[in-house]
Structure 1
């Protein structure tokens, strides 16, 4: 790790001395909740990630035996149904390591858009697919809706007597999912350490079971992890790179340099999606927060405001973005650089950042293990769903799509202070991503504000907490579309009754988040892209 902080070097040096005097490293490893707050609630029972290397290793033999069994039985694919911490690390493992020969190809479903669900249903052969239902709480509405839908469709195609052996669960002990999985006779139930929060669970069963299914050598992954763990125990803060990273992020955020722009080697670019949740959901609360800016299109140095810090993660020997970082340094932007020898150091990076964000939380003055604003959008969405079930309709949403309204909305942004978040409640695919990325670049170049892009409802379990919990510098453009081929959500697995569809659910989620943003005095513009999403986005002139 190396860093160039310019004007901020002095304050970081001061904070290193301060945290040495506070015994911060020892206290974190002692699981001292007073590092982050006066009460142990949602702190003391969320520090299990510190023991992940030991606890998860105890399940290695069980995991390997399970993976061997499903491979021998001819399973070729796995569909992981989960949100946030249950889906992001598995996605990083799959897209970084790819799939080892004769192991299972892992697909991640975290969109309630009916066309996304239908695509997986058409693409995957149920007789060769393992369905992974992954949720810590055991009651995540999206995950349980996916489970009920696919349990029914697989049951119809394979027969009721065969369906159960195609389903497994990863959850906490005593959760609603554990009970349902037992009732439905799931093939396997993995019970995770309940003292690990969702976004800190990458190295627990939530991340490692899917990693093993695609052929990651989990022993090797944890050997690399152990090196980082040992370094993170160094009590001299200046020698502890994880702690120093946290001090830099926290100190600069306190100085309003709070837009952490992530640049990575292409091979590890998907790590940014996991970092996005860890940073945003951990720090974005109580009017404070660090905004992670992931996969932002490259622009000239003149397009960036004074609120930026750039983090560069590269694979040894891949110098693709070295020139870009050097230009940013010369322009005076603070930078942090990491070099990984190989992709098996990914587990070590997961741990480094978990530790760093815990330190940053201490400096910012927040506790990083809760998510107080996430539930608010869920409550309103549930209210709207109930209203739909009673009245047969959701509230109407005025479409604010006009050139004048978009330009007027964006014209009040201030470079160096505000950010613009695109919230896309549309089917995630390559074409829509490219079009929305082009829109990000236009906004970045014209208004010189940080931009983020998230598909709904995925982002609700990632950056959604920060959107509602930070200081209120965000501008939110919410895209919705016309659902063309809707799908019913079964009331129960095995039942043909349905009182709501996925199309209704995703609309309720968009409406719910919009309402909570407005209630929190956030600036929101909602645009209905209609049926031709690509064409509609291409016509937007900022």
Structure 2
């Protein structure tokens, strides 16, 4: 990796986004205006399609956009890792961004069909991976511009703390009683899932929140469930492993316009470790599994306090995911 070349590309984008550059020639301003204005028109599901070699960029941009814009009843939902489908599986709430490495044309035909069906499609071609530095700057600048369009402060995160507060309450109860508060779990079945989803509004989205070991097998099964639900209900879908996603999309989940449907999937501990009460000592009052369940309980409580609908499912191992009908 030539760090100098990476920085050089980044600085080039920074110069292109200066305030003395006309908006028509300013890539950061144009991108921010596009996603902000389209969000106001109801196209608030910003769907990223990336070349496989740079797929991890999606995880970074997901946190940037969700945490920066999801507040005060507004927000742009970044959708990453959702494989493209045919035009009929989408409602009118999408904007597609194709981050294409070189001349990668593997997704071009599908995106052209989506564009022909009336969906906005933005294509950003990266000559090589060194252009990732420029993309980091572009999307930071664009997100700030989009926040201005939406009339929110993109540097604030008023709802991040709510789940932490609730989780600390769960931990405190465990420390006092030796038990976590009782959770209401729905039966583990495809019928429970479809009954919860019902007839979602056209601008709804589904968030699968998996507090499970993030193995390739679990990710593959959850992805299959995700795509099946997307195709059936024509809603945008996101998939996050907990508790990681709390620091990525958690702000938006509780701060946006309230169109999310949240499915928590909590697994038992396939392997567990005690958390030392003090550094250098073996005494432990709590394990990592208990902490993970506390965070899941806390986030569910914060979501419900914000008026969101939450379905909670408990599995013993990732093999139980197949019961959801993928």
TM-score normalised by the chain length of structure 1: 0.59
* Correspondence 1:278 to 2:278: no
Q: Which runs of 5+ in 2 are unaligned?
A: none
Question: What CA distance in whole angstroms lies between the structure 2 residues aligned with 1:239 and 1:467?
Answer: 34
Which entry has the higher C-alpha Rg, 1 or 2?
1
Question: What CA distance in whole angstroms lies between the structure 2 residues aligned with 1:398 and 1:484?
Answer: 22
Equivalent of 1:406 in 176, 193, 207: 193
* Correspondence 1:349 to 2:139: no
Equivalent of 2:274 in 488, 491, 504: 488
Aligned residue pairs total: 324
Equivalent of 2:16 in 224, 227, 231: 231
Matches within 5 A, 1:70-85: none
How far is the alpha carbon of 1:414 from its aligned partner?
A: 2.1
Contact 1:414 1:447 in 2 (8 A): no
How far is the alpha carbon of 1:488 from its aligned partner?
A: 0.8
Partner of 1:386: 172
Distance 1:453 1:390, change over 3 A: same
Contact 2:86 2:110 in 1 (8 A): no
How far is the alpha carbon of 1:519 from its aligned partner?
A: 0.7
* Correspondence 1:222 to 2:7: yes
How far is the alpha carbon of 1:537 from its aligned partner?
A: 1.6
Matches within 5 A, 1:391-540: 391-401=177-187, 402-415=189-202, 417-531=203-317, 533-534=318-319, 536-540=320-324
Equivalent of 1:293 in 79, 83, 99: 79
Equivalent of 1:366 in 152, 162, 176: 152
Deviation per CA, 1:374-399, whole angstroms, max 9, x where unpaired? Answer: 10000110111111111111012122
Partner of 1:29: none
Contact 1:297 1:440 in 2 (8 A): no
Matches within 5 A, 1:83-162: none
Question: What CA distance in whole angstroms lies between the structure 2 residues aligned with 1:376 and 1:410?
Answer: 25
Question: What CA distance in whole angstroms lies between the structure 2 residues aligned with 1:370 and 1:499?
Answer: 35
Question: What CA distance in whole angstroms lies between the structure 1 residues aligned with 2:94 and 2:32?
Answer: 16
Question: What CA distance in whole angstroms lies between the structure 2 residues aligned with 1:236 and 1:485?
Answer: 56
Partner of 1:191: none
TM-score normalised by the chain length of structure 2: 0.97
How far is the alpha carbon of 1:298 from its aligned partner?
A: 2.3
The secondary structure found in structure 2 opposite 1:372 is coil
Question: What CA distance in whole angstroms lies between the structure 1 residues aligned with 2:257 and 2:67?
Answer: 14
Question: What CA distance in whole angstroms lies between the structure 2 residues aligned with 1:279 and 1:403?
Answer: 32
Q: Which runs of 5+ in 1 are unaligned?
A: 1-215
Deviation per CA, 1:401-450, whole angstroms, max 9, x where unpaired? Answer: 244332211123123x1000000001111100000000011101110000
Question: What CA distance in whole angstroms lies between the structure 2 residues aligned with 1:501 and 1:369?
Answer: 34
The structure showing larger relative contact order (alpha-carbon pairs under 8 Å, at least 6 residues apart) is 2
Question: What CA distance in whole angstroms lies between the structure 2 residues aligned with 1:411 and 1:306?
Answer: 19
How far is the alpha carbon of 1:217 from its aligned partner?
A: 2.6
The secondary structure found in structure 1 opposite 2:324 is coil
* Correspondence 1:265 to 2:64: no
The secondary structure found in structure 1 opposite 2:148 is helix
How far is the alpha carbon of 1:539 from its aligned partner?
A: 2.1
How far is the alpha carbon of 1:295 from its aligned partner?
A: 0.7
Contact 2:157 2:251 in 1 (8 A): yes
Question: What CA distance in whole angstroms lies between the structure 1 residues aligned with 2:110 and 2:35?
Answer: 21
How far is the alpha carbon of 1:484 from its aligned partner?
A: 3.6
Question: What CA distance in whole angstroms lies between the structure 2 residues aligned with 1:244 and 1:222?
Answer: 22
Deviation per CA, 1:158-187, whole angstroms, max 9, x where unpaired? Answer: xxxxxxxxxxxxxxxxxxxxxxxxxxxxxx
CA RMSD of aligned residues (A): 1.2
The secondary structure found in structure 2 opposite 1:539 is helix
How far is the alpha carbon of 1:221 from its aligned partner?
A: 1.1
